[in-house]
Structure 1
Amino acid sequence: MKQLFFFLAIAVFSFGPLKADRPNIVLILSDDQAWSDYGFMGHADIETPNLDRLAKQSLVFERGYVSAPLCRPSLATLVTGLYPQQHGITGNDVDGYNQRAALDKPLRDSFHKHSSIIRELTAAGYLTHQSGKWWEGSWEDGGFTDGMTHGDPKRGGRHGDAGLAIGRKGMKPVTDFVDHAVEEQKPFFLWYAPFLPHTPHTPPQRLLDKYSAPDRAEDVARYYAMCEWFDETCGQLLGHLEEKNVAENTLVFYVCDNGWAAPSTNADDPNQELWKGYAQRSKSSPYENGIRTPVMISWPGKVAPQRSADFAHTIDFYPTVAKAAGLEVPSHLPGLDLLSADARAGRDRVFGVTHSTHNMTLGDPDDTLQYLWCVEDQWKLIVRYDGKDTTKYKALHVWDKEPVRLYNVKSDPNEQNDVAEKHPEVVARLKQSIEDWRADLWTPSRKNQ
């Protein structure tokens, strides 16, 4: 009997809580989808029955935010729990496209020096799988035990490469991984980040026919169809968890990397230029359609389904998952455990940044910084960054006059009315909050973590 207790103690010391106490963890990460474009968020036309069902089983944060409105820095925040100016991934490329292969490696090497929730889960005995979007090298580079992305620039490795087939070309790699983990009787972590509903918008014809209408632009119809196609793949994944009888002990975390809107939705506005095939006040912008996302956490028997008015943020993924898995949460992380109502109650505002989409500078994240933003209750302040001459990194969402804009995002969620001149005291308070936040990021306890 003493020997039994000895081996049990060794297991707990080595791997945290025993296997039965540790949930499987599934991250579902949609790609380029506006915060409003789901059935459970009230969209009038887009149907997402599988995510709607998940929402009914989840703690739902309708006011979730990303650290940056662009896929690579947004995903890097999920992995590290840090803001872009801390982990160093501020855009999609180093020096545009010209020297990507040569210059990206030192940036990745610097990024991988930060603590990672993926490596922590792997070290704790989890089987971990990468599929879909993944920018930082191969799945091995990311610390996964298995995966799809090779990350080899000589073979066109970038932002997911072979992993981008997941969802669009079936679900077998991830369902096989779940089957393997069940056979091995080990807890698992699944990074499911399909290239959906991201362009190219090539949905099944049946879905395109469903959303096509005489009064609807084709780019909008294609996007709507892609949103439902993504939802169908989520249903396949969640259904497989149920078939394998592991859904009851699986924490599902849902979030989107950044927003998106079809180009035709702002084509009638002469002040809004189109960029890379999406509307300007969406992806890569500091507006709600760029930075806002619903966040859902489902954990049967552990998390009561409800809608929360509290803020959620992508910096919270690491501490939330680490806590649920029984791991130590690094003290330098700025996020909080979203499953703690007390922790959420202590947060009254959230922050983030917008950088140039390209031309990252290793060791100088402010070099391409364009905007900083803060949301507090109904107020949202956007501040244009004027710290450097950034003319070669032209701001895609620039305005000509005032360096700040203030919106009441509860009464004006589409941010049509700048009320900065009417509320100078709010502007001053939130601007100071942004300055304090930036200073706090570089305190000794957080610097170089």
Structure 2
Amino acid sequence: MKNTLNIIPYKFPILTAFIFGVFSFVYGQNQPNIIFILSDDAGYADFGFQGSREFKTPNLDKLASQSIRFTQAYVSAAVCGPSRAGILTGKYQQRFGYEENNVPGYMSASGTTGDEMGLPLDQKLISEYLKEQGYKTALFGKWHMGNADRFHPTKRGFDTFYGFRGGARSYYEFNENNKSSRKEDRMERGFGGFEESKQYLTDALAHETVQFIEAHKAQPFFVYLSFNAVHTPIEAHPDDLKKFPKLKGKRKTLAAMTLALDRACGKVFDKLDELGLRDNTIIVFTNDNGGPSDTNASLNKPLGGTKANHLEGGIRVPFLMALPNQQQKHTTYKYPISTLDLFPTFYNLAGGNEKQILDLDGVNLLPFVTGENKSRPHETLYWKKEVRGAIRHQDWKLIRYPDRPAELYNLAEDESEVNNLATTHPDIVNDLYKQFFEWEVSLERPRWMLKHQYEKDAIERLDKYRN
């Protein structure tokens, strides 16, 4: 492990003021509002603040200048549903049988079928904890945690829901020219109350979020703005497409969809500024997994791999955290973190003691980003889907496959995972194998599985897009 500072100021020596400001806020002011924005299937390199020169993301770029930017932020799964289950519970989702398989799955060990598969009801979500802390809670957009009524967001701690229960849908209203036979694709206000947006969906979600903020400006609120952008189907607003005359095909459409995503985020940020709430609000922006380069032309460079595999391009994501009072401007955090850490961080900011929740796998990030704790938030991180799996211990990463020998990489020297060191460090391979197995045998059996064809598809995608 390299002996480097875990926090790096971009331009000015503001760390001392930053530490004082954050802790003055946490211990001396009212509960902050929490805005958690999650994009869907975006590429690691497809934002201006991540280095893109093709895509236009001015609002998120501005947020990055006001944020801690985490350069090694990981999700707990390489696909949408399980990743979101980890975020909402603060736990490795495999611990309660939510393997890296979306719902509804194909085969169920518990005997449940189809829409009856979902995030288990015995898991208490961050929305429920924050509601107990006096927060008004809202979810706008994609749910993907089960289609049955008992899994509904308004039964899982969200006071307000405007979105759809499934995992993907059209960005335009359904009609005779744009049909869908799946009930979970329908836009829904609250419990039931199906309706269709009269505008581009990404903009509609921002509109609903802004209205909620306006209505609840006098009390602490938690907003989970769960975009389906930029997940398939690849559908952009015609006006946005005109902004990218030099791009073609899927890449052009993706750029336009990303511009709409950025515009929607900007509307939320502007409302916070208008109401004078920005200095008492934490904003987090991240993505649910790596970009699926084959389906939406996303770029994950310099990382290899894509969504659905455990190379860095499948599990490392853009991540911004703007803390209250904007004491964090232009700061980079270098050590690995996980989206599992959002749960304890939010709960701590809300006034709760995350240490009293004994089974969390995430950690409160505040002591780490302020410099109070100079160690790594996580010495070890894990990923698993059936036979496939990965473990990162400090800077060493082992990837286990069903059809080839394991691979070993030193991420401090090779974040693109080009130089496989398994044959030159067999002792490290053995140690990591044992450590991974000890974690694996502590997990619940998967509650449902997918057809093996999907595993074959994942391996083929990996080989095609690994570098």
**Same fold (TM > 0.5):** yes
* 1:138 Cα deviation from its structure 2 partner: 2.4
Structure 2 residue 366 is the aligned partner of structure 1 residue 307: no
* 1:227 Cα deviation from its structure 2 partner: 2.0
Structure 2 residue 19 is the aligned partner of structure 1 residue 24: no
Q: Where does 1:56-205 land on structure 2 (aligned, <5 Å)?
A: 56-90=65-99, 91-96=101-106, 103=113, 107-108=117-118, 111-136=120-145, 137-149=151-163, 151=165, 156-158=182-184, 161-162=187-188, 166-169=201-204, 171-182=206-217, 185-205=218-238
Cα deviation per residue 1:48-75 (whole Å; 9 max; x = unaligned)? Answer: 1111111111122110000001111111
C-alpha distance in structure 1 between counterparts of 2:219 and 2:264, whole Å? 24
Aligned residue in 2 for 1:316? 341
Cα distance, 1:147–1:228 mapped onto 2, change above 3 Å: same
Task: Name segments (4+ residues, structure 1) moved above 6 Å.
Answer: 152-155
Aligned residue in 1 for 2:387? 370
* 1:187 Cα deviation from its structure 2 partner: 0.6
Aligned residues: CA RMSD: 3.3
* 1:440 Cα deviation from its structure 2 partner: 6.2
Q: Which of 221, 233, 248 is the aligned partner of 2:279?
A: 248
C-alpha distance in structure 1 between counterparts of 2:378 and 2:223, whole Å? 31
Give TM-score, length-normalised by structure 1. 0.75
Specify which structure has the bigger relative contact order, considering alpha-carbon pairs within 8 angstroms and separated by 6 or more residues. Answer: 2
Q: Where does 1:196-235 land on structure 2 (aligned, <5 Å)?
A: 196-213=229-246, 218-235=249-266
Cα distance, 1:238–1:344 mapped onto 2, change above 3 Å: farther
Secondary structure of 1:253's match? strand
Cα distance, 1:204–1:94 mapped onto 2, change above 3 Å: closer
Secondary structure of 1:34's match? coil
* 1:174 Cα deviation from its structure 2 partner: 1.1
Instruction: Report the number of matched residues.
Output: 380
Identical counterparts, % of pairs: 27
Answer yes or no: is the 8 Å Cα contact 2:210–2:267 preserved in 1: no
One-letter amino acid matched to 2:267 = Q
Cα deviation per residue 1:344-381 (whole Å; 9 max; x = unaligned)? Answer: 614453423243xxxxxxxxxxxxx1322122454321
Give TM-score, length-normalised by structure 2. 0.73
Answer yes or no: is the 8 Å Cα contact 1:256–1:294 preserved in 2: yes
* 1:45 Cα deviation from its structure 2 partner: 2.0
Gaps of 5+ in 1: 1-16, 267-279, 356-368, 385-397, 443-449
One-letter amino acid matched to 2:103 = D
C-alpha distance in structure 1 between counterparts of 2:296 and 2:133, whole Å? 47
Cα deviation per residue 1:182-231 (whole Å; 9 max; x = unaligned)? Answer: 1xx21100010111111122222343343353xx6512222232222211
Answer yes or no: is the 8 Å Cα contact 1:25–1:188 preserved in 2: yes
Cα distance, 1:19–1:189 mapped onto 2, change above 3 Å: farther
Cα distance, 1:294–1:344 mapped onto 2, change above 3 Å: farther
* 1:324 Cα deviation from its structure 2 partner: 0.6
C-alpha distance in structure 2 between counterparts of 1:317 and 1:288, whole Å? 20
Aligned residue in 2 for 1:331? 358
* 1:340 Cα deviation from its structure 2 partner: 1.2
C-alpha distance in structure 2 between counterparts of 1:252 and 1:325, whole Å? 14
One-letter amino acid matched to 2:162 = M
One-letter amino acid matched to 1:158 = E
C-alpha distance in structure 1 between counterparts of 2:293 and 2:251, whole Å? 6
C-alpha distance in structure 2 between counterparts of 1:382 and 1:294, whole Å? 22
* 1:434 Cα deviation from its structure 2 partner: 2.0
Answer yes or no: is the 8 Å Cα contact 1:134–1:160 preserved in 2: no
C-alpha distance in structure 1 between counterparts of 2:152 and 2:164, whole Å? 4
Cα distance, 1:85–1:238 mapped onto 2, change above 3 Å: same
One-letter amino acid matched to 1:287 = L
C-alpha distance in structure 1 between counterparts of 2:208 and 2:346, whole Å? 23
Cα distance, 1:258–1:122 mapped onto 2, change above 3 Å: same
Answer yes or no: is the 8 Å Cα contact 2:337–2:378 preserved in 1: no
C-alpha distance in structure 1 between counterparts of 2:408 and 2:127, whole Å? 37
Structure 2 residue 320 is the aligned partner of structure 1 residue 296: yes
Gaps of 5+ in 2: 1-25, 146-150, 168-179, 190-195, 298-303, 445-467
Secondary structure of 2:72's match? strand
Answer yes or no: is the 8 Å Cα contact 2:307–2:314 preserved in 1: yes
Answer yes or no: is the 8 Å Cα contact 1:405–1:420 preserved in 2: yes
